[in-house]
């Protein structure tokens, strides 16, 4: 498979560089920076250095409340803006979900710079998949492959556990491994226009292989991430402020901008639905999720809404690919049965990947939610609120009903197969 995909053409218009799609796919071209260069921001970085300890001692809010309101004018590059977004994401969710019960107010020292950074990046001021995964890793060596989860390390966690690190790294490895399929599927869309069935068939076969391989990466979650640790210690910090009434945030969170200014805001938390790669798979195959989270013809469904939680260039890329996606239509109308069979094989592999995801969610969320008694002294949070909930009513960190959403997404994928 091609290595340097940033130089390959995107069908019809534009280039991958325009959409900030690198040789690593939706991961950045260079490893994320590990610290803001200006000492001016050291007070942010020092809290992040000691985040797990501060959360264990329930003294994080006290430290944040002492912070001055820092200007974003000293951020000197896009990578620094991304770093600032990561830092403020971790501080925001730590402040909201510190043990003892959630805070309905985010102080100006966080709200004001976070709103500015989020506006610059076209992202909401909450801990998104981009903050937790795309910009939160490093490699053991510059030459080490990002494909191998064992060669990766995360920069920050809420809990300081290997379990949380492993949870994020699985996603990073999937993003990296799936990167090479992006130009292959774009070339297949070009091949439709030139009526080159062999190119399309080979692309679909490589797509199936890629999905199988990332499914095997996802299965490795069990190796170093415990379901109990994830459910009771990690997941509460990933929760957003939307549909979190049972967890203690009926109105969401008030982003206090000082002097009586501010707004109540509700955001979804970090979710794999915010992965541009996973949504690219759907768009490339023409899988439609129009009924997921909304009735057809009404407001956008959950997956469409999750695009607002992606970096804006990636969001634009998916919209662009939607406009040129033509593989399903070609596979449906061609007389070349090898293309149609290869397409159906790709759909089947994507359905199987979603089955693996459902199995993971069952082990890591559904089963623990049925157990008696979350961790002591946790206060109200997503784990406490979810314990003994009915499976149907159990919400994910993104704020939507968990199992019905995942099963419907899987079923809609299966229904895309051609007769």
Task: Please enumerate in sequence order all residues whose Cβ is within 8 A of that of 4, keeping only pairs 6 or more positions apart, or say none.
Answer: 23
Predicted local confidence at residue 24, as pLDDT: 95
Instruction: Among 60-64, 248-252, 345-349, name the one with the lowest average pLDDT.
Output: 248-252
Burial class (CB in 10 A: 0-12, 13-18, 19+), 375: middle
Instruction: Among 89-93, 100-104, 176-180, 246-250, name the one with the lowest average pLDDT.
Output: 246-250
d(C-alpha 144, C-alpha 223), whole Å: 21
The 10s digit of each residue's pLDDT in 215-267 is: 999 999 999 999 999 999 999 999 999 988 888 999 999 999 999 999 999 99
Cα distances from 215 to residues 39, 129, 210, 260, 314, in angstroms, run 42, 19, 9, 49, 23
How confident is the prediction for the chain on average, in pLDDT? 89
Which residue matches tokens 């949870």?
167
Predicted local confidence at residue 79, as pLDDT: 97
Predicted local confidence at residue 387, as pLDDT: 56
Predicted local confidence at residue 64, as pLDDT: 98
The 10s digit of each residue's pLDDT in 5-59 is: 433 444 444 589 999 999 999 999 999 999 999 999 999 999 999 999 999 999 9
Instruction: Among 79-88, 199-208, 402-411, name the one with the lowest average pLDDT.
Output: 402-411
d(C-alpha 123, C-alpha 143), whole Å: 31
Residue scoring higher pLDDT (13 or 196): 196
Task: Please enumerate in sequence order all residues whose Cβ is within 8 A of that of 388, keeping only pairs 6 or more positions apart, or say none.
Answer: 369, 370, 372
Q: State the CB neighbour count (10 A cutoff) for residue 89.
A: 26
Predicted local confidence at residue 294, as pLDDT: 38
Task: Check: pTM over 0.85? Answer yes or no.
Answer: yes
CATH architecture for segment(s) 5-25+149-414: Up-down Bundle (1.20)
Residue scoring higher pLDDT (406 or 74): 74
Q: State the CB neighbour count (10 A cutoff) for residue 32.
A: 16
Q: 279 — phi, psi (to 5°)?
A: -70, -30
Q: State the CB neighbour count (10 A cutoff) for residue 148.
A: 15
Predicted local confidence at residue 345, as pLDDT: 98
Max CA separation in the chain (angstroms): 69
Mean pLDDT of 262-282: 95
**Residue 357 annotated as binding?**
yes
Task: Please enumerate in sequence order all residues whose Cβ is within 8 A of that of 209, keeping only pairs 6 or more positions apart, or say none.
Answer: none
Q: State the CB neighbour count (10 A cutoff) for residue 319.
A: 12
The 10s digit of each residue's pLDDT in 281-329 is: 999 999 998 644 434 444 468 889 999 999 999 999 999 999 999 999 9
Predicted local confidence at residue 389, as pLDDT: 56
């Amino acid at each position: 498979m091609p290595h340097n995909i940033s130089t390959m053409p995107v069908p019809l218009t534009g280039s991958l560089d325009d959409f900030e799609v690198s040789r690593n796919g939706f991961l950045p071209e260079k490893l994320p920076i590990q610290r803001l260069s200006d000492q001016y921001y050291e007070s942010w970085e020092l809290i992040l250095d000691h985040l797990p300890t501060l959360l264990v001692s329930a003294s994080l809010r006290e430290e944040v409340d002492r912070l001055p309101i820092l200007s974003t004018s000293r951020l000197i590059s896009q990578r620094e803006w991304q770093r600032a977004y990561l830092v403020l994401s971790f501080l925001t969710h730590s402040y909201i979900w510190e043990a003892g019960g959630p805070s309905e107010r985010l102080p100006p020292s966080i709200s004001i710079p976070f709103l500015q950074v989020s506006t610059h990046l076209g992202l909401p001021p909450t801990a998104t998949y981009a903050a937790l995964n795309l910009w939160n890793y490093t490699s053991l060596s510059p030459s080490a492959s990002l494909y191998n989860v064992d060669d990766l390390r995360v920069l920050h966690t809420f809990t300081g556990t290997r379990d949380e690190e492993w949870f994020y790294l699985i996603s990073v490895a999937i993003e990296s491994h799936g990167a090479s399929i992006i130009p292959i599927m774009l070339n297949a869309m070009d091949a439709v226009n030139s009526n080159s069935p062999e190119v399309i068939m080979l692309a679909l076969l490589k797509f199936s292989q890629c999905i199988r391989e990332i499914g095997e990466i996802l299965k490795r979650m069990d190796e170093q991430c415990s379901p109990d640790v994830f459910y009771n210690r990690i997941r509460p910090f990933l929760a957003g402020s939307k549909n979190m009434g049972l967890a203690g945030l009926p109105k969401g969170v008030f982003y206090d901008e000082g002097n009586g200014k501010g707004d109540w805001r509700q955001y979804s938390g970090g979710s794999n639905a915010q992965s541009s790669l996973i949504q690219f798979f759907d768009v490339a195959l023409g899988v439609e999720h129009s009924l997921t989270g909304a009735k057809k013809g009404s407001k956008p469904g959950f997956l469409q809404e999750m695009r607002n939680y992606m970096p804006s260039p990636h969001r634009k890329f998916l919209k662009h690919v939607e406009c040129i996606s033509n593989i399903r239509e070609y596979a449906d109308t061609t007389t070349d049965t090898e293309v149609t069979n290869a397409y159906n094989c790709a759909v089947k592999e994507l359905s199987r990947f979603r089955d693996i995801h459902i199995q993971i969610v069952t082990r890591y969320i559904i089963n623990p939610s049925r157990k008696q008694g979350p961790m002591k002294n946790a206060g109200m949070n997503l784990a406490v609120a979810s314990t003994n909930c009915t499976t149907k009513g159990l919400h994910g960190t993104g704020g939507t009903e968990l199992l019905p959403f995942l099963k419907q997404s899987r079923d809609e994928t299966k229904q895309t197969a051609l007769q």
